[in-house]
Amino acid sequence: MRRHEHEIDELGLGVLVVTFERPEVAADYAREIELRWPLVVDPDRALYHAYGMSRGSFWQIFGPRALLNLARLVRQGYRTERATGDTRQLGGNVLVDPAGRVVLHHVGEGPADRPPVEALLREIRSHASNRETAPQHPAPGRHASKGP
Amino acid sequence: MASLVGSKAPDFELAEPSGAVHRLADFAGHYLLLVFHRHLR
């Protein structure tokens, strides 16, 4: 997503990253990867449930399709570590429009199942051009850039 | 769960580990992308 930071700013898109992990784990993670967007903590997963982010089945997480996706990520440089959190919790993406309505709701069906950032940005552009009210000012919440 | 597309986004108020609080209402007038993470480690 970081590769698209400039476009995200141009579109005035607010981003919130949500985790269910403990605050200290979340803080370490955000610092380690120099996360540019707020990482909020949802320890009881109330927001995960409200937005339909479920726990995957064994086969969703460890089945052939998931392992193929993992192999693809490793080839792209992803480092695997021993998991400390709930490995069966699935993730996903939700896009909310300026009026507070959901315009994209993607619940991952496996560990690496997410829409490409390019597709999310296309969706916003398409939706905004229909509304003709694309915001031109920065969204709240973004952390200050730490350099190039 | 059925798709939420077209429905009002469920409200929230969540904090970063630093204590900074973020609410859905803060993003009124903006597009907001919520990225639900799997386990971090």
pTM (2 d.p.):
0.79
Q: Is residue A9 part of a domain?
A: yes
Q: What is the pLDDT of residues A89-117, one digit of tens each?
A: 888 999 999 999 999 999 987 666 778 88
CB A93 within 8 A of CB B35: yes
Tell me what ipTM this predicted complex has. 0.93
The percentage of chain A sitting over the pLDDT mark of 90, rounded to a whole number, equals 37
How far apart are the C-alpha atoms of A80 and B27, rounded to whole Å?
Answer: 34
Token pair, residue A37, equals: 């967007």
Output the pLDDT for position A130.
79
Q: Name the B residues in 8-27 with CB < 8 Å from any A CB.
A: 8-10, 12, 14-18, 20, 22, 24, 26-27
Total domains in chain A come to 1
Pairs of residues, one from chain A and one from chain B, whose beta carbons lie less than 8 Å apart? 169
Domain enclosing residue A123, as ranges: 2-80+87-131
Q: Is residue A91 part of a domain?
A: yes
Q: Is residue A45 part of a domain?
A: yes
How far apart are the C-alpha atoms of A67 and A128, rounded to whole Å?
Answer: 37
Q: Is residue A72 part of a domain?
A: yes
Q: Is residue A96 part of a domain?
A: yes
Q: What is the mean pLDDT of chain B?
A: 93
For residue A36, the domain's CATH number is 3.40.30
Q: Select the residue from B8, B24, B31 to test the A interface by mutation, using most A Cβ atoms within 10 A.
A: B31
**B36: contact with A, CB 8 A cutoff:** yes
Q: What is the mean pLDDT of residues A64-71?
A: 74
Q: What is the mean pLDDT of residues B9-20?
A: 97
How many CB atoms lie under 10 A from the CB of residue A107?
20
Q: Is residue A136 part of a domain?
A: no
Q: Give the residue from chain A lying closest to B15, CA to CA.
A: A40
**B29: contact with A, CB 8 A cutoff:** yes
Output the pLDDT for position A124.
86
Instruction: Provide the shortest C-alpha distance from residue A68 to chain B (in Å).
Output: 18
Q: Give the residue from chain B lying closest to A45, CA to CA.
A: B36
Q: Is residue A103 part of a domain?
A: yes
Q: Is residue A142 part of a domain?
A: no
